[in-house]
């Protein structure tokens, strides 16, 4: 099968350096030494470059994957364009790229499943959840370095029902904190956003339906909060605003030194850490059939177990189960195998969580089954 190559500017990885052209990144990609996990990893590299397009939420993770792929498969490159999930699916189904990156699995209703199967020479495409990134509830309260919130309180903040930081509902979760009588200034994404869509799914699930907003457009209380375009802008706005709060990908909150709230889902406060997010991923239910690994996000968002941090986004790499030419098959399988074993420290620095071992086993079984 002849694969058309996407004409957009692309990221080229050589053995020693990552050169970005045109598409850019939201954060600096961590640089460093080799990944020990690659030493004994068996892959058949192939001879073709790998191309992908789609979700901007996973762009920095793909850069980490690409770096490791270039170390394992000397001279091989990865071309990934961040254009949004919809465009990534469209580029994949049009056979313009080898894999699509999407914050949601292929939709039967939208005809994506059928179009993807046609592109894959009549074979099903698989949704492989390769990237997981936690969402932080970030805040700016000078002197308050330990803050616990829960879904009900966050929901009421964005509905305008809780307006002061010393509200009794917040004090009840933080009995030892000296909370100020400062106005709460909520910020939200004004652009359509997969982060918003999943944040609203979390609030709906964790509040038992008390939050009614859904979709990629934020739907808080009338006149509540201030909208900003993009993750960088909501994070910067909180940084500049005493009393500010927002939901944002972990890397943005960390890079700006914002406070990050612990989440209490009923079994006590849980800090946002790699280990605590990993517990949520390990317990996630998979709804897809066979090697089509569609994650049931409600099983994460509604997880009330001790030590589980539940606000997590995941991104799928959409690939053909069969239908590539032989060299593309080798390259795609090699790249995804390396991605599943990417350097955990580099991923965490970029704001993502490495796949826990049990979940990684499911992912690698799917990758190995591509033929």
> Positive or negative CA dihedral for 241, 242, 248, 253?
positive
Q: Within 307-356, where are the H helices?
A: 326-340, 344-349
Q: Which of 298, 330, 274, 359 is nearest to 49 (CA)?
A: 330
Whether the Cβ atoms of residue 253 and residue 240 lie closer than 8 Å to each other: no
Task: Name the CA radius of gyration of the chain, rounded.
Answer: 21
Q: Which residues contact 32 (CB under 8 A, 6 or more apart)?
A: 343, 345, 346
Q: How far is residue 188's CA from residue 295's CA, in Å, rounded to a whole number?
A: 25
**Within the chain, what is the greatest distance between any pair of CA atoms?**
65
Residue 102 marked ligand-binding: no
CA 101 – CA 92 distance, rounded (Å)? 9
147, 259 contact by CB (below 8 A): yes
Distance separating alpha carbons of residues 55 and 38, to the nearest angstrom: 26
* C-alpha dihedral, 321 to 323 to 327 to 331, nearest 10°: -30
First to last CA, the chain: 13
The answer on whether 193 is annotated among ligand-binding residues is yes
Residue 274 among known ligand-binding residues: no
Q: Which of 158, 134, 172, 148 is nearest to 265 (CA)?
A: 148
Residue 137 DSSP symbol:
E
Cα 290 to Cα 93, 126, 130, 149, 368: the distances in Å are: 21, 9, 16, 38, 13
How far is Cα of residue 122 from the mean position of the Cα atoms in its chain?
30
Q: Which helix H or strand E contains 323, and what residues bound it?
A: none
H or E, element range at 264: strand 262-264
The verdict on whether residue 85 carries a ligand-binding annotation is: yes
* Annotated binding-site residue? 217: no
d(CA 205, CA 302): 6
56 carries a ligand binding annotation:
yes
**147: Cα separation from own chain's centroid:** 24
Binding positions are 55-57, 85, 103, 193-195
Binding region for phosphate: 55-57, 85, 103, 193-195
């Amino acid at each position: 099968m002849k694969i058309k190559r996407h004409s957009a500017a692309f990221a080229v990885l050589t053995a020693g350096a990552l050169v970005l052209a045109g598409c850019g990144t939201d954060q600096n990609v961590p640089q460093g030494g080799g990944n020990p996990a690659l030493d004994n990893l068996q892959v058949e590299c192939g001879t073709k470059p790998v191309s992908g397009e789609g979700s901007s939420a996973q762009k920095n993770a793909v850069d980490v994957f690409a770096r490791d792929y270039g170390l394992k498969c000397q001279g091989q490159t990865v071309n990934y364009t961040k254009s949004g999930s919809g465009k990534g699916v469209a580029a994949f189904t049009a056979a313009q790229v080898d894999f699509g990156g999407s914050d949601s699995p292929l939709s039967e209703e939208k005809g994506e499943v059928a179009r993807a199967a046609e592109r894959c020479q009549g074979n099903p495409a698989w949704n492989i959840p390769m990237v997981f990134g936690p969402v932080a509830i970030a805040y700016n309260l000078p002197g308050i370095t330990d803050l616990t919130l829960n879904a009900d309180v966050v929901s009421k903040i964005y509905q305008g029902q809780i307006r002061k930081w010393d509200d009794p509902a917040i004090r009840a979760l933080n009995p030892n904190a000296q909370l100020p009588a400062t106005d709460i200034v909520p910020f939200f994404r004004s652009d359509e956003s997969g982060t918003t869509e999943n944040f609203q799914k979390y609030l709906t699930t964790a509040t038992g339906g008390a939050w009614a907003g859904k979709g990629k457009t934020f739907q808080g209380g009338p006149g509540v909060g201030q909208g900003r375009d993009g993750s960088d802008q909501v994070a910067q706005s909180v940084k500049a605003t005493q009393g500010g709060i927002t939901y944002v990908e972990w890397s943005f909150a960390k890079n700006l030194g914002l406070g990050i709230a612990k989440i209490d889902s009923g079994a006590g406060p849980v800090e946002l850490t790699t280990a605590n997010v990993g517990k949520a991923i390990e317990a996630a239910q998979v709804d897809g059939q066979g090697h089509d690994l569609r994650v049931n996000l409600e099983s994460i968002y509604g997880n009330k177990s001790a030590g589980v941090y539940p606000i997590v986004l995941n991104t799928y790499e959409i690939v053909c189960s069969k239908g590539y030419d032989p060299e593309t098959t080798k390259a795609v399988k090699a790249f995804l195998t390396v991605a599943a074993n990417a350097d955990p420290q580099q991923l965490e620095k970029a704001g993502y969580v490495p796949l826990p071992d049990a979940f990684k086993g499911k992912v690698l079984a799917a990758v190995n089954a591509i033929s």
